[in-house]
Amino acid sequence: MSNVGERVLIVTEDDFLADAVDQVLGVAGLVVQRAGWGPVEPMLLEHRPALVVLDVGNQDLAERPVSVARLRQSTDIGLVVITRSTLLEHRLGAFEAGADDVLVMPFPLAELRWKITTIMRRSGHPIDRLVLGDLWVDIGAHLVERNGMAIDLTALEFSLLVAMGRHKGTVLSKTQLLNLVWGYEHFDVNLVEVYVSSLRKKLEEHGPRIVHTVRSVGYVLRMPAEDVLSDP
């Protein structure tokens, strides 16, 4: 199942926020539709979104015409709440009312995208992307970002990254990588060394090393924290 054309509805009166969300999710291949405050049921019928981003400003949820509780009573689709309130009780209130996640402004737009794609995947909207710590790979769109910065990879570098990302934490031999990327194991294994070196250099321009050499075995993609602990 493809995510192409999946709709995300953002409910807000903040045009700047709506534009930013439109831009960051549009790059991810999602269709962003906007709505202002009002009854939630007609919005869901009109737009039929796969996920809703609900801006509740800095006020208590109960003070908003479109509340998390009302939206959750109408649908079980993914719901991300954006608030400007730093009060813990407001964030907890959103979770208690049924939000899947809560973000407090300001926040990195990349974080919103990661959260949305994760929620959509879990709720039955598979997305052909890899989210590996601070690294984000859109396989369908051939896009790579690390810490919010775009990384320009060649076709073979991209295929190598995807192959290693799909086997994150597993050491792959040069022969295995030749099979996965080049489709034929009898190429010169030095090709793998050359492309791993180039890929590693580009990735490390925006963060610490994640492609590691396991001497006499091969290569492994491992996020920094995994040097000590596994992902929770």
Residue 58 pLDDT:
72
Nearest to 120 by CA among 50, 73, 21, 22: 50
| Integer Cα distance of 93 and 192 in angstroms | 51
CA distances for 120 relative to 3, 32, 88, 127, angstroms = 9, 14, 26, 8
The total of other beta-carbon atoms located within 10 Å of residue 110's CB is 17
Residue 200 pLDDT:
96
CATH homologous superfamily for the domain 7-127:
Response regulator (3.40.50.2300)
Q: Top-level CATH class of 130-227?
A: mainly alpha
What is the three-class DSSP state of 40? helix
**Domain residue limits, the chain:** 7-127, 130-227
Rg of the chain over Cα atoms, rounded to whole angstroms, equals 21
From the number of C-beta atoms within 10 Å of its C-beta (0-12, 13-18, 19+), residue 21 rates as buried
What is the three-class DSSP state of 31? strand
Nearest to 141 by CA among 128, 131, 132, 150: 128
Residue 112 pLDDT:
83
pLDDT digits (tens, 9 = 90+) for 18-66: 888 887 776 566 788 888 877 777 777 777 888 899 888 776 655 655 5
CB 169 within 8 A of CB 231: no
Low-confidence ranges of the chain (pLDDT < 50): 1-4, 226-232
Residue 62 pLDDT:
56
Nearest to 65 by CA among 79, 80, 54, 77: 54
| Integer Cα distance of 180 and 15 in angstroms | 45
| Integer Cα distance of 229 and 232 in angstroms | 8
